[in-house]
Copies of this chain bind each other. A is one copy, B any other.
Amino acid sequence: MPNAVPALREAEPLPQPYLLFLGDVTEPGYAKTAFGLRDWAGERCVGEYACKGATVTTGLPFLSPPQARMLGARSMVIGVANPGGRIPANWIPLLLDALHAGLDLIGGMHARLAEIEPLRNAAVVHGRRLIDVREPPVGLPVASGRKRSGRRLLTVGTDCALGKKYTALSLSRAFASRGIDADFRASGQTGILIAGGGVPMDAVVADFAAGAAETLSPDADAGHWDVIEGQGSLSHPAYAGVSLALLHGSQPDVIVVCHEHGRERMLGHPHFALPSVEDTIDLALRLGARTNPAIRCAGVSLNTGALDAATAQRAIEATAARLGLPVADPMRGGPAFDRLVDACLA
């Protein structure tokens, strides 16, 4: 795009800390990104900002962009999505407030920030950046297949949208709490905002997808773990290619298979049955062995969010008994999750 808005350099982390922008949203379901950032990157969020009339809050202090800048914020993140992914006209003055105050703007909606004329003009005038986390880095390589140093874990799903990101975040946090040097590696937009960097795998040109996955978890110290957010499912009729490229490029030593208890049909593709956890493990190990013959499955992350505690406990135990593997719901933690973490690090 031929403009003079300063660009993010390749592999440069996102400017942090963040001020979270909540728009004029009154439905909490539209503010998932803001809640995810509060929960997983709270120490890098100085506060929130919103239009008059917004009722959703993250509980963080309400700050004007100049106040946030004073407290160290370097960017304002659009933490809400509305149906259609548009940026309504009444948000623009508040987005301009952020640019005027010296903050960069970060968005991940379908509408590109740099295509909005007043934002572009203000960014040029103030030397601020308009960063779109849907935009993959330029100059991605074709995958080499070369084995990299360090250790890697990839979350692998039976389907989309059932906990691969939260499982990877939970595991990387658990690794760190045991004193292990670990990084969460993000492959989707919300994950990228949380991590402060990453690659939006779904937006990469197909020939470079495995190469993009290779750049996501570079060579590291022998004891270092990259905990990589999975995408899609190897059995998904639309996205399996993305999942396979991510699996091949990640070269995981360990996979954790993520499944939602009771889900029987593919999300958005109800004429496709969900693959079994057993089949998903078998397929991922077979395919993953191509770039890492030592790949193994440490266990299963079971999303039991729809169940009460006792039913969830029974579901976790029954699945563990059936598979002969550690099974846990990371959102519930407890000894089952400790056993899953043990198995990952074994």
A residues with a Cβ closer than 8 A to B are: 142-146, 201-207, 209-211, 235, 237-245, 248, 269, 271-272, 283, 286-287, 290-291
Contacts and interface: CB of A to CB of B under 8 A. Distances in A.
B203 A145 contact: no
Contact of A240 (B201, B204, B245, B271): B245
Given A202-B207, A210-B239, A272-B290, 20 more contacts: A142-B238, A143-B238, A144-B237, A144-B238, A145-B269, A146-B271, A203-B207, A204-B206, A206-B209, A206-B242, A207-B242, A209-B241, A210-B237, A237-B248, A240-B245, A240-B287, A241-B241, A241-B242, A241-B244, A283-B286
A315 B144 CA distance: 32
A320 to B, nearest CB: 27
A149 to B, nearest CB: 16
A274 to B, nearest CB: 12
Q: How often does this chain occur in the complex, in copies? A: 2
B201 A237 contact: no
Contacts of A209: 206, 241-242
Nearest to A238: B143
A282 to B, nearest CB: 10
A248 B240 contact: yes
Contacts of A245: 206, 240-241
B210 A145 contact: no
B206 A143 contact: no
A145 B237 CA distance: 5
A268 to B, nearest CB: 9
A207 B269 contact: no
Contact of A144 (B202, B203, B235, B269): B269
A201 B146 CA distance: 24
Nearest to A268: B142
11 contacts: A143-B238, A145-B271, A202-B207, A204-B206, A237-B248, A237-B290, A240-B245, A240-B248, A240-B290, A244-B244, A272-B290
Nearest to A203: B205
A332 B229 CA distance: 48
A293 to B, nearest CB: 11
Nearest to A271: B145
Contacts of A203: 205-207
Task: Give the one of A144, A205, A237 with max B CB within 10 A.
Answer: A237
Contacts of A211: 238
Contacts of A286: 283
A141 to B, nearest CB: 9
A210 B211 CA distance: 19
A290 B275 CA distance: 10
Contacts of A272: 145, 290
A90 B194 CA distance: 52
A134 B287 CA distance: 29
B239 A207 contact: yes
